[in-house]
Amino acid sequence: MKSNGNWGETPWKVAFRAKAGTLPEEVDVAIVGGGFTGLAAAAMVKRLARERSVLLLEAERVGNGASGRTGGLVLGETAAGDLPGLGDVLQGYPRILEELGVTADLRLPGVWELARGTTSMDGKPVHAITGSPIEWSDSGKLEAVGTVPGGSVDPGKVVTGLARAAEKAGARIAERSRVAKIEFREPVRLYVERTRAGGRERRVIKAKQVLIATNAGSLELSAALFGGRQPAEPKLTFALATAPFSQNEIAELGLGSGRAFYTVDLPYLWGRLLENGGIVWGSGLVPGWGESARRGTRGEVERRRLWSGLEALDTRKGQAAERLRTLEERVRGLHPGLKKMRVTHRWGGPILITRELWPVFRKHPESEKVIVSGGYSGHGVALSVYLGERAARVMAGLATGNWELRR
């Protein structure tokens, strides 16, 4: 994917730049995508099978897509719930970060589930808990209806830490190196276009194994999966961050427990505290729920337009700007303590939403040597790293049997 400064700025930064170097002609493991999944996989492959050569290819800078722009809300399972064979995501996530030496302000005090009525989005009955600390006004009285395991993390520190761990372990990271095409041969061939100071370099790289981990940018490389049984659409979602609140103000808002929150009914809203006392708030999609981003003919051209439509969006203009204005006005009206809040950052980030919210993690139908991971449907902060490790175990020859997630 291409970098788009018009998506806005986050309150955290990715403090990593890959070392320049010549791209190899052959590699044992090639990883496409420098987000949470790809970086975790690169670091873990080298940890589990040090003799394997590993090359990670990122079209822009690491963390340029969803991983660097997520709000940092950590949840277990998947957006579709606990799937067969998934395992304990919230147990695995902190373990992986610790093993790789990643310090990222991870906090797991639990997450509030909020609702206005008595029925959740999926039709389950919900009721406000006695003495709910949260009482906001948002299309009705918004209160806590329960808690689920989870918490929050600093996305910039996770990206930075994973990238440093991968590089330290011996994986090569090549930024501004876009995979334009993949030929599913033996070995797999990746057609790479790399932007450097001296111009554009084109290289064909042979790889014995490949992980495609580009999530919302995966439609061109993995369309047979994301466009088939599990059709998916990339969308831009939005968030804003505020200046710090005092501890008394935070308690007055009902957030004294430090728990993040999300609504289980509509209109959707989520958020969490920052380490400095600021608050991140998020909601809104372009295109929205039920709206299609597709234009033109079907097939490969359609998929390219689908993603490039998001690349061209400017959060300062049009629908995106309107979504951010609506979000800000909505948050100011939640509670008197938010009316005069100072917004310090406004941004959008890509998300890949699948039908029924099932993530993709399986072999590519055209090659046993290629794994595809993505389609986390907004639930990928912990899941992406967790599945990155699983991909690494497969590529290191340590995972056998039915390791895929499928229906």
The predicted pLDDT at position 21 comes to: 87
Query: For 58-196, where are the E strands, in sequence order?
Result: 73-75, 111-115, 135-137, 141-148, 150-152, 172-174, 177-183, 188-196
Give all strands of the β-sheet with 260-263 in edge-to-edge order.
135-137, 141-148, 111-115, 260-263, 270-273, 279-286, 232-242, 343-354
Residue 326, helix vs strand vs coil: helix
Q: Which of 270, 278, 249 is nearest to 111 (CA)?
A: 270
The residue behind tokens 């204005």 is: 325
Burial (CB count <10 Å: 0-12, 13-18, 19+), residue 321: middle
- The whole-number pLDDT of residue 343 equals 98
- The β-bridge relationship of strands 26-32 and 199-212 is parallel
Residue 231 has a pLDDT of 67
How far apart CA 10 and CA 58 sit, in angstroms, is 20
- What's the pLDDT at 354? 86
Segment 171-185, tens digit of pLDDT: 999 999 999 999 999
Q: What span, in angstroms and rounded, lies between the C-alpha atoms of 167 and 178?
A: 19
State the pLDDT at residue 20: 78
Give residues with Cβ within 8 angstroms of 289, minimum separation 6: none
Q: Fold for domain 5-108+150-231+356-395?
A: FAD/NAD(P)-binding domain (3.50.50)
Q: Is 337 exposed, middle or buried (0-12, 13-18, 19+ CB in 10 A)?
A: middle
d(CA 78, CA 157): 22
What pLDDT does residue 356 have? 85
Q: How many CB atoms lie within 10 A of CB 83?
A: 15
The full set of domain ranges for the chain reads 5-108+150-231+356-395
Q: What is the CA radius of gyration of the chain?
A: 21
pLDDT along the chain (407 residues), means of 10: 70 94 95 98 97 96 95 96 94 98 97 96 94 97 98 98 98 95 95 86 96 81 60 88 98 98 96 98 82 49 59 87 97 98 96 88 92 94 98 94 83
pTM of the model: 0.93
Region of residue 81 (left: phi > 0; alpha: psi -120 to 50; beta: else): left
**Residue closest to 267 by CA, chosen among 314, 186, 344, 323:** 323
At 292 the pLDDT is: 56
Q: Please answer whether residues 66 and 143 qualify as being in contact, where contact means their C-beta atoms are separated by less than 8 angstroms.
A: no
Cis peptide before 94 (omega within 30 of 0): no
